[in-house]
Amino acid sequence: MTLNTTTEHPVRLVPRTTIAPAAPERWSVEAVASLFDLPFSDLIHRAQTVHREHFDPAEVELATLLSVKTGGCPEDCGYCPQSVHFDTGLAAGKLMGVDAVREAAQRAKQAGATRFCMGAAWRAPKDRDVDAVAELVRTVKAEGLEACATLGMLSEGHAETLRDAGLDYYNHNLDSAPDFYGEIITTRDYQDRLDTLERVRGAGVKVCCGGIVGMGESRLQRAALVAQLANLAPDYPESVPINHLVKVQGTPLADQPDLDPLEFVRTIAVARITMPRARVRLSAGRQQMSEAVQALCFLAGANSIFYGEKLLTTGNPDVAADMGLLAKLGLRPRRA
Ligand code: SAM
Ligand code: DTB
Ligand code: SF4
């Protein structure tokens, strides 16, 4: 068994024929599934080893979310409280203005965040929406924060407009394995998502792309999601949010049975191993998770969290609780 330190990914600790990609930079679903199937301690050891080769294991990125345009979305994503197809009691709003966004960014920075992500419940923004968000991006950048936006599908020129405003990352998730996707969303297809990701890459904006775990998918389908992410061309995303389904009353997934928390930890570890240089974000669902499970996620290679008491529309641990948890674990926030 050799530790390959010359090629960056994948780092191999086991013979290539057993658990390694089929070709350089390409992971087969079976190879990813084999990682999932490892004994837990072997999986965590391998993820830790990869993590420590590429990152300071004591450092965690703090990213704050703000819903700049809430609700009223025409898509039917089965997990989402913001879809018009489901009655979740959420009031739809208009795009927030520059002053309110500046205040939120200042508060996030004051609390220690280095990254600020703006989410909008659009299927696809119009040109004028993108121009308005570009102004919000400039506002966030002026406060000395990294800027990320997630606005739905982008059309020609949109990624360039956002890039020119200073956008660092565009978030657009694959959400699930291709063969599970149709059970969750019918109003846009997998290829639409891949097309938007290509536009983002093409404009030179960093890609933030991940998915949701716990929607009723099989382990093989979790492996297929990770393989899709790891195989994205020309490279895997710089930032990979792994969301745990937040069950919201009124959505079709409200009564989804709980996923074994260790399976969520495994997903984080497998993402870390297959995408060694990515920021792997322990994303939605932390409020419903024990501190022990979150600690396992950090051990498995997560090095970013959403920080601040709200995600987009649902709750997140408060700042004091997160600072307490990081201190308990000897972790420290990434500096700007
Ligand atoms: N409307 C845009 C889109 O879908 O591309 C951007 C905002 S959308 C809310 C961003 C992501 O949030 C989704 O792709 C999904 O991964 C995540 N998300 C939404 N609702 C969630 C839930 N209930 N639990 C976990 N993740 C969720
Ligand atoms: C991502 O992957 N997770 C964030 C962010 N990208 C935009 C959103 C999580 C939303 C959780 C449900 C809610 O609060 O509405
Ligand atoms: Fe709309 Fe995004 Fe929610 Fe889907 S996930 S319903 S696109 S806001």
Residue 310 clears pLDDT 70, i.e. is over it: yes
Percent of the chain scoring above 70 in pLDDT = 93
From ligand 3's centre to the CA of 92, what distance in Å?
A: 13
Cβ of residue 245 lying under 6 Å from some atom of ligand 1? yes
Q: Report the pocket of ligand 2 as residue ranges, CB < 6 Å.
A: 65, 81, 117, 119, 150, 171, 173, 210, 241, 243, 246, 283-284, 311-314
Q: Of 24-28, 42-46, 217-221, where does mean pLDDT reach its minimum?
A: 24-28
What's residue 18's pLDDT? 56
Average pLDDT over residues 276-298: 98
Ligand 1 atom nearest residue 247's Cα: 23
**Average confidence score pLDDT of the chain:** 94
Residue 10 clears pLDDT 50, i.e. is over it: no
Q: Of 9-18, 187-196, 259-268, where does mean pLDDT reach its minimum?
A: 9-18
State pLDDT tens for residues 234-248.
Answer: 999 999 999 999 999
What pLDDT band is residue 306 in, cutting at 50, 70 and 90? very high
What's residue 17's pLDDT? 43
More confident site: 23 or 146: 146
State pLDDT tens for residues 191-209.
Answer: 999 999 999 999 999 999 9
Residue 161 clears pLDDT 60, i.e. is over it: yes
List all residues 6 or more positions away from 199 whose beta carbon is below 8 Å from its beta carbon: 154, 156, 158, 159
- For residue 310, the 8-state DSSP code is B
What's residue 336's pLDDT? 82
Report the candidate in 194, 245, 249 with the shortest Cα–Cα distance to residue 217: 245
Report the candidate in 220, 332, 196, 269 with the shortest Cα–Cα distance to residue 41: 269
Residue 127 clears pLDDT 60, i.e. is over it: yes
Task: Outline where 112-246 has alpha helix (H).
Answer: 127-142, 158-165, 178-181, 190-202, 219-230
What's residue 19's pLDDT? 64
Cβ of residue 197 lying under 6 Å from some atom of ligand 1? no
What's residue 7's pLDDT? 39
Cβ of residue 75 lying under 6 Å from some atom of ligand 3? yes
Q: Measuring from atom 4 of ligand 3, which residue has the nearest CA?
A: 77
Residue 2 clears pLDDT 70, i.e. is over it: no
What pLDDT band is residue 15 in, cutting at 50, 70 and 90? very low
Task: Please state, in angstroms and as integers, the Cα–Cα distance from residue 155 to each residue in 129, 195, 203, 217, 237, following that order.
Answer: 12, 9, 12, 30, 20
Residue 12 clears pLDDT 80, i.e. is over it: no
Report how far residue 113's alpha carbon sits from residue 136's, in angstroms, rounded to the nearest whole number: 17
Count the residues in the chain.
336
State pLDDT tens for residues 51-106.
Answer: 999 999 999 999 999 999 999 999 999 999 999 999 999 999 999 999 999 999 99
